[in-house]
Structure 1
């Protein structure tokens, strides 16, 4: 006897492009976490610090939207990074109840160390794929992002 949940999706569902992207993301995230752990940093914290570095003055709400996580998740990470002296909150120049996020000197140093680890992971990928395939992959991923944003 067959139950309704035995075949809820097509047999080829796990062969879809979106699943391939997700599997690659899981693998990369796991490697980032593994390699960043000796620095006392998680991949999520690296991502947060990178975003603040690239766009100083972001608010927690803006970061949450950008990272597609809850404001509570951002607040928790910001509090940890602030306790470590890597992030500083400063009052917004026009909105007195809004706090902007900025890297401290310690945050810049931590980000520099963490980014060297991430560069190593990227080099591993590029070496395995070769320069041509690595460039193609980057271009295809940019195209995927554009297509999905436009849809």
Structure 2
């Protein structure tokens, strides 16, 4: 039995993961100045856009497993940036909101995020960056 002659250069997953690490490192360098990680920033921004979003809705929107989301939210809750409240007694659904400290942190991190955006678009090209975002969002909406 012969093994096909495959190269990591032919692997879509490898290329996407490598690019994701590169972009994550760039954004981490900036938003960490506000005391959050790039992943935490995206969660704060998503909750800010939809106050009262449930864990299930947020997990779906972020394309994350619910257990992964719970682990990611723990430090944000511990640090008082995100509040989780049971919606009502008849359901286990938990609604998420930013606290005052969460809104302040998001504001500070947003300034750093803008710098990361500027740096990325300066290196990659503004138009190419827009096309890339569009393609990636299309990819995550495939069914």
Same fold (TM over 0.5): yes
58, 65, 71: which one aligns with 1:63: 58
| Structure 1 length-normalised TM | 0.74
Q: Which has the higher contact order (CA 8 A, sep 6+)?
A: 2
2:48 matched to which residue of 1? Answer: 53
84, 89, 92: which one aligns with 2:79: 84
CA contact (8 A) 2:34 2:112 kept: no
In the aligned structure 2, how far is the partner of 1:96 from the partner of 1:114?
34
Residue correspondences, number? 143
CA contact (8 A) 2:44 2:102 kept: yes
**Structure 1 pair 24–53 and aligned structure 2 pair: CA distance change class (3 A):** same
**Structure 1 pair 16–103 and aligned structure 2 pair: CA distance change class (3 A):** same
**Structure 1 pair 136–68 and aligned structure 2 pair: CA distance change class (3 A):** closer
Q: Deviations over 1:79-125 (max 9, x none)?
A: 32122221112231574432200111211111111122222111112
Gaps of 5+ in 1: none
Q: CA RMSD in A?
A: 2.8
1:36 matched to which residue of 2? Answer: 31
**SS at the partner of 1:88?**
strand
**Structure 1 pair 49–17 and aligned structure 2 pair: CA distance change class (3 A):** same
